[in-house]
Amino acid sequence: MTATSTALYDVPGPKTRKRHFLYGVASTALIAALLGWVLNLLFDTNQFTSAKWNPFQYKGIQELLLRGLGNTLKAFAYAAVLSVALGAVLATGRLSEHRALRWVATLLVEFFRAMPVLVMIFFIFVALKVQPLPALVAGLTLYNGSVLAEVFRTGVNSVERGQREAAYALGMRKTQVMTFVLVPQGVRAMLPTIISQLVVALKDTSLGYLITYEEFLHVGKLIASNLDYDLPFIPVVMVISPIYIGMCMLLSWFAQWVAEREQRNPKNEAVDVSKAEPGTLLPGVR
């Protein structure tokens, strides 16, 4: 163990390990009791009866769910690509040396970040009379793009100042410095945060049901309210929720995998330099 890690974190002793073990056991027991209580409530309200789960056996219901899932993924794909593009444009404006451009980009970023996503979606859908899918995608793009603009700007500014100065010393122009030095490193450092923000965009696609866009949640609402099967609302939630959670966990896992892969990338590791012997000349020195 290094001196730095020892200074920051002391190895727990026997009493501390025993206390942590007891905390873990108590937390596990509490979570198990909570899950048991929830399951007991579901059984008491007859949520697992065959009458409430039979609708999911019909081909029409399965196709309806698949179509809703496909519409959700389609809206997310459009919003993700456009959000990243808008974030890059706004970040470029915020990093510009031209004061007017920087102020305009800052105003747009702060405005769209402060505006609730639902309000933007409703405004585009109702006031501008845009179709449900473009309205949903536009609202998600404006909000998430403004958030990603700050992520990109933070990533670029996090690159060591010495690399910027070294690039300028080599005769590179500002565009070349941004394109080949700052942006690749900044995006690499912020990639987990970028993907985490895309998880937010994926979850916010559920707002589409408020403007009659037939995404996954809207389809579940139709199944729960339009079938004469004792309103299987809870079974619909139990079917839809794990799929939403699974998609978000998949994106989160991808972000973690990318971060770990970047840490293991040999290009990001320092190159070992052997110590020069006394009297040894540097290469190229005569």
- How far is 211 from 139, CA to CA, in rounded Å? 12
Amino acid 227: pLDDT: 56
Distance CA 182, CA 175 (A): 10
For residue 208, which of 198, 199, 217, 200 has the smallest C-alpha distance? 217
DSSP SS3 for 96 = coil
Given a contact cutoff of 8 angstroms between Cβ atoms, the answer to whether 99 and 162 are in contact is no
Q: Is the pLDDT of residue 118 over 70?
A: yes
Question: By C-alpha distance, which of 76, 75, 74, 153 is closest to 108?
Answer: 153
Domain ranges of the chain: 55-262
The CA distance from 135 to 205, in Å, is 11
| pLDDT attached to residue 145 | 95
In this structure, what is the dihedral angle of CA atoms 7, 13, 19, 23, given to the nearest 10 degrees? 50
Superfamily of domain 55-262: MetI-like (1.10.3720.10)
Q: Is the pLDDT of residue 222 over 90?
A: no
Higher pLDDT, 272 or 171: 171
Q: What is the mean pLDDT of residues 173-201?
A: 82
pLDDT of residue 272: 45
pLDDT tens, residue by residue, 77-98 = 999 999 999 999 999 899 888 8
According to DSSP, residue 130 is labeled -
Q: Which two tokens stand for residue 257?
A: 């995998």
3-class secondary-structure state, position 273: coil
Note whether 217 and 209 are within 8 A (CB): yes
- Condensed to tens digits (0 to 9), the pLDDT of residues 23-66 reads 899 999 999 999 999 888 888 877 888 877 887 888 888 899 99
The amino acid at 199: V
Structure tokens at 18: 């025993």
User: pLDDT tier at 286 (50, 70, 90 boundaries)?
Assistant: very low
Q: To the nearest whole number, what is the mean pLDDT of the chain?
A: 82
Q: Is the pLDDT of residue 132 over 50?
A: yes
Whole-number Å distance between alpha carbons of 250 and 247: 5
Asked if pLDDT for residue 70 goes beyond 50, the answer is yes
Mean pLDDT of 158-171: 78
